[in-house]
Amino acid sequence: MGFWKAKVVPRVKKLFEKDSAKKAAAAEASKSFDDSKEEIDKEFEEKKEGLQPKVLEIYEASSAEVKTAVKERTVAAVKKQGTAVSAFLEELVKIVPGAKAVSEASAKFGPALVPGPVFFLFEKVAVFLPAEEPKAPAAEEAPPAPAAPAEESSTKEKEAAVEEVKEEEEKAPAPEAAAPPPAAPATVPEPAKEAEPADPRRRLEAPPPPSHGL
């Protein structure tokens, strides 16, 4: 425990203090550069015409990672490619106004601690880069066919319903023929009555025929 307090803790504390001092110095360098931006812009515009071919030559000779850092201008990209970015800035010192102060700050503190000045210089470089060709748009999908009118749709639905009914009727078994009504019972004719024989007494009692005036 005594060794930790006596040896390790002081070293860690010293590192933090050194890191804090470095960040403070980097912030001061960035502020000083910001104060000179107006003068740098003026000088840049005056020399702009003759800068393009030289800047493009340095840019094209740089690595793909540096080109990405110039275009994206993010702290992550600059921090990842710190050594290559510092070398690129050293090349720009020869021709681009303000590049010397940025290169010195980058070499002393690292480009990730002075992103403002580094990105300012990258913006000046990007002015000379050729415009990227837009990517060919993906093949447009064919527009969907227009929906059929409501009336036509309704008519088709009705026709489909009629067809379904017809199919169901054809599939259904034919109904059995209705049984015929029971036949009426045959009427048996009554036998004819025989004529009764004439009564002989009635014949005797028959009145005499009328007389003709005799």
pLDDT tens digit sequence for 85-110: 999 999 999 899 999 999 999 999 99
**Which of the four pLDDT bands, split at 50, 70 and 90, describes residue 13?**
low
**Which of the four pLDDT bands, split at 50, 70 and 90, describes residue 116?**
very high
Secondary element (H or E) of residue 64: helix 64-72
Q: What is the structure's pLDDT at 150?
A: 47
Residues in contact with 157: Cβ distance below 8 Å, sequence separation at least 6, in sequence order: none
For residue 52 the two structure tokens come to: 């393009």
Residues in contact with 52: Cβ distance below 8 Å, sequence separation at least 6, in sequence order: 128
Return the half-sphere exposure (C-beta side, CA atoms, 13 A cut-off) of residue 32. Answer: 12
| Mean pLDDT computed over every residue of the chain | 74
Residue with more model confidence, 148 or 100: 100
Name the nearest CA neighbour of 93 among 85, 78, 103. Answer: 103
**Which of the four pLDDT bands, split at 50, 70 and 90, describes residue 83?**
very high
Q: What is the structure's pLDDT at 192?
A: 53
For residue 164 the two structure tokens come to: 């379904």
Q: Enter the pTM of the model.
A: 0.53
Mean pLDDT score, 175-189: 54
Mean pLDDT score, 39-51: 90
Residue with more model confidence, 151 or 103: 103
Please give the C-alpha separations between residue 152 and each of 147, 149, 159, 166, in angstroms, as whole numbers.
Answer: 10, 5, 11, 21
Secondary element (H or E) of residue 197: none
Centroid of chain to Cα 44? 46
Domain ranges of the chain: 2-126
User: What is the tens place of the pLDDT at every residue in 57-68?
Assistant: 999 999 999 999
CB atoms within 10 A of CB 94: 10
Q: What is the structure's pLDDT at 21?
A: 78
Residues in contact with 26: Cβ distance below 8 Å, sequence separation at least 6, in sequence order: 105, 109, 110, 113, 114
Residues in contact with 105: Cβ distance below 8 Å, sequence separation at least 6, in sequence order: 26, 29, 30, 33, 114, 117
Phi, psi of 135 (to 5 degrees): -70, 145
User: CA-CA distance, 115 to 113, in Å (whole number)?
Assistant: 6
**Which of the four pLDDT bands, split at 50, 70 and 90, describes residue 214?**
very low
User: CA-CA distance, 54 to 118, in Å (whole number)?
Assistant: 19
pLDDT reading at 189 higher than 60: no
Q: 132-136, 160-164, 194-198: which has the highest mean pLDDT?
A: 160-164
Provide the percentage of residues in the chain whose pLDDT is more than 90. 34
**Which of the four pLDDT bands, split at 50, 70 and 90, describes residue 129?**
confident
